[in-house]
Chain A
Amino acid sequence: MIWMVAAQLLPDALRTSPPAPVAAALSVAAAAMIALQVLLLG
């Protein structure tokens, strides 16, 4: 999935949005997913 993000999704995102909102959205979503996993799985 890391490859998929680096090779496909990030270039797609940066094609239509500036880097700052892309970086912010990516960071918040990653943190939310990690928090959810900690909540569910400990």
Chain B
Amino acid sequence: MNVATVFFAALVTALATGLGALPLLLGRRIEGPGLGVATAVAAGFMVGASVGLFREGVGTSLGRTVMGAVLGVVFILVTSGLLEHHRHLEFGALRGADARGALMIVGVMTLHSFTEGIGVGVSFGDGAALGVLIATAIAVHNIPEGLAISLVLVPRGVSVARAAAWSVFSSLPQPLMAVPAYLLVEWFKPLLPAGLGFAAGP
């Protein structure tokens, strides 16, 4: 096992996020009740993923997991409050409330990807088999995250290709964090429960 393998595995998990935009490419234009149900499916996958993150975190440390979740919610409330004051906010071609919503979802998903990258790196530190398993699990749950991002962006006028690019962007911290977490596994291990709580809460 070497650093390049860990980086490549985490990069694949990041690229998997872009697959979440594909259903919108096939549907070309999802509207009405179908859009609502598709959004609910993405939301359900994210609830399921959060339950998994909490479960993993609590298995190591309940206190640090809860602390991470509380920190995450506080961070979101502060960020959301700050963005409320920027009435002329722009995000690509989006303006105002649409831009704020898009920025929040891309920002939150990008932030929580740091923890997933640490998860990949730490698990590779415990062996290649566990690393591949965790990277696969994260890649699978990245797809609905990309779907969620795309379902927020595309109905507001962003192209499917750009939504896929933003989805991949939101997961780029994974390869960036996986390598230091793999190299410094003993240092990163105690941070993992707090990070998992932080990722699941917001």
- A34 vs B54: C-alpha distance in the bound complex, in angstroms? 12
Asked if B199 and A1 make an inter-chain contact with CB atoms under 8 angstroms apart, the answer reads yes
Which of B4-12, B82-90, B134-142 sits within the interface? B134-142
Asked if A1 and B50 make an inter-chain contact with CB atoms under 8 angstroms apart, the answer reads yes
Residues of the B chain whose Cβ atoms lie less than 8 Å from the Cβ of A9: 39-40, 42-43, 46, 148, 151-152
Asked if B200 and A34 make an inter-chain contact with CB atoms under 8 angstroms apart, the answer reads no
The contact of A29 among B41, B72, B151, by CB within 8 Å, is: B41
Say whether, besides A4-B105, A30-B45, A32-B48, A13 and B40 are in contact (CB < 8 Å).
yes
Residues of the B chain whose Cβ atoms lie less than 8 Å from the Cβ of A2: 46-47, 50, 200-202
A residues 9-30 touching B (CB-CB < 8 Å): 9-10, 12-18, 21-23, 25-30
Asked if B140 and A36 make an inter-chain contact with CB atoms under 8 angstroms apart, the answer reads yes
Closest Cβ neighbor of B145 among chain A residues: A1
- A3 vs B141: C-alpha distance in the bound complex, in angstroms? 17
The contact of A1 among B40, B80, B202, by CB within 8 Å, is: B202
Asked if A25 and B136 make an inter-chain contact with CB atoms under 8 angstroms apart, the answer reads no
Indicate whether B44 reaches chain A with its CB closer than 8 angstroms: yes
What would 4 more interface pairs be, CB under 8 Å, given A12-B155, A21-B40, A32-B44? A1-B200, A8-B105, A13-B35, A17-B33
